[in-house]
Amino acid sequence: DTAVSQTPKYLVTQMGNDKSIKCEQNLGHDTMYWYKQDSKKFLKIMFSYNNKELIINETVPNRFSPKSPDKAHLNLHINSLELGDSAVYFCASSQEGLTAGISPLHFGNGTRLTVT
């Protein structure tokens, strides 16, 4: 059973196009995230939703717009794609609001975006 699944796995597109990535988790978690991993493997948080509410919005161009229709889904739409957007985008989820400790992140296997 896949816990966090992303589609598509690969996305090749031209500059200027608009594309979307979808993410679904079946772990029952209440918080979902988008991370971007560049070519040097550096993983940087972009957005986070907790119970469908946007709680983290890092310094990301407003061409990137996340949407969470429900707790189990988080999508990422990117307008006017640029060469620099080429990266691997990871969706992750966690359960917040625990009485003790924190819930580590569970990641999907990523969407490899190539902009030509």
Partner 1 sequence: QKEVEQDPGPLSVPEGAIVSLNCTYSNSAFQYFMWYRQYSRKGPELLMYTYSSGNKEDGRFTAQVDKSSKYISLFIRDSQPSDSATYLCAMRDTGGFKTIFGAGTRLFVKA
Q: Which residues bind partner 1 (CB under 8 A)?
A: 4, 31, 40-45, 48, 50, 55-56, 90, 92, 94, 96, 101-102, 104-110
Q: In the complex with partner 1, which residue's Cβ is closer, 108 or 115?
A: 108
Q: How far is the CB of 106 from partner 1 (least distance, A)?
A: 8
Q: How far is CA 51 from CA 3, 15, 58, 70, in A?
A: 18, 33, 18, 7
Q: In the complex with partner 1, which residue's Cβ is closer, 80 or 109?
A: 109
Q: How far is the CB of 64 from partner 1 (least distance, A)?
A: 17
Q: How far is the CB of 19 from partner 1 (least distance, A)?
A: 20
Q: How far is the CB of 42 from partner 1 (least distance, A)?
A: 5
Which position has the token pair 């966690």? 94
| 8 Å CB contact between 77 and 67 | yes
The CB-side HSE value for 30 (13 A sphere, CA atoms) comes to: 10
Nearest-angstrom CA–CA distance, 86 and 14: 11
Q: How far is CA 93 from CA 50, 71, 83, 96, in A?
A: 10, 10, 28, 10
Q: In the complex with partner 1, which residue's Cβ is closer, 83 or 102?
A: 102
Q: In the complex with partner 1, which residue's Cβ is closer, 44 or 63?
A: 44
